Structure 1
Amino acid sequence: MRTVFIFMNEASQAVEIPKDMQFEAVAELEIRREGDTVLLRPVRPNWVSFAHEPTASADFLAERPCVLKTDYFDLSGAGESSEEPGQ
């Protein structure tokens, strides 16, 4: 197990993460204490962060190929019954 020094950064304690342990392409970490252990992990996207994502343009997918097959079932007579339910 490696050790690192703790230093003060204004009113907070800080540590320098060694290069081989750095988080790649991560801008924000979650931090949690479990007893005398402090755990760091990348913030994972959630529904709150999803709401802050940019919205699609008005013409997004306006023109797209049809990917649905419509010949699986013939539903042209669906819902047309001469019998009453329960008879």
Structure 2
Amino acid sequence: MRTKVFKSGNSMALRIPRKFGAKEGEVTIERVGNRWLVEPHIPEEWPKDFFRKIRITDPDFNRPEQGDHRDFSG
């Protein structure tokens, strides 16, 4: 399908025909050879229960020693 690339402010914009059903929002664009690949942006998220379910039992995963506490208040 043929569409238009046009100037919008200081950027170039791509007109996406309505029949593609695109919603307003962010997309990602990638150059693949001499083509542009445009896809809806799907933010990466942690699995919903990740922080509730995670249990770190490896003793090597502990926080390292922080050294002596110094008071810089005065």
In the superposition, the TM-score normalised over structure 1's length comes to 0.44
| CA RMSD after TM alignment | 2.2
- Supply the distance in 2 between the matched residues of 1:38 and 1:21 (Cα, whole angstroms): 16
- Supply the distance in 2 between the matched residues of 1:22 and 1:36 (Cα, whole angstroms): 25
Q: 1:15 to 1:45 in 2, by over 3 A?
A: closer
Measured after TM superposition, the shift of residue 38 of structure 1 is 0.7
Q: Whose Rg is larger?
A: 1
Gaps in structure 2 of 5+ consecutive residues: 49-74
- Supply the distance in 1 between the matched residues of 2:8 and 2:36 (Cα, whole angstroms): 18
Greater strand proportion: 2
> Which structure would you say has the larger RCO, counting Cα contacts within 8 Å and 6 or more residues apart?
2
1:31 pairs with one of 18, 26, 29: 29
Gaps in structure 1 of 5+ consecutive residues: 51-87
Q: Secondary structure at the match of 1:17?
A: coil
Within-5 A mapping of 1:41-56: 41-47=39-45
Greater helix proportion: 2
List per-residue Cα deviations over 1:1-41 (Å, max 9, x = no partner). x11121111121112110101324x6211111111111111
Q: Secondary structure at the match of 1:33?
A: strand
How many corresponding residue pairs?
47
The runs of at least 4 aligned residues of structure 1 exceeding 6 Å deviation read: none
Match of 2:8 in 1: 9
- AA at the equivalent of 1:46: E
Match of 2:38 in 1: 40
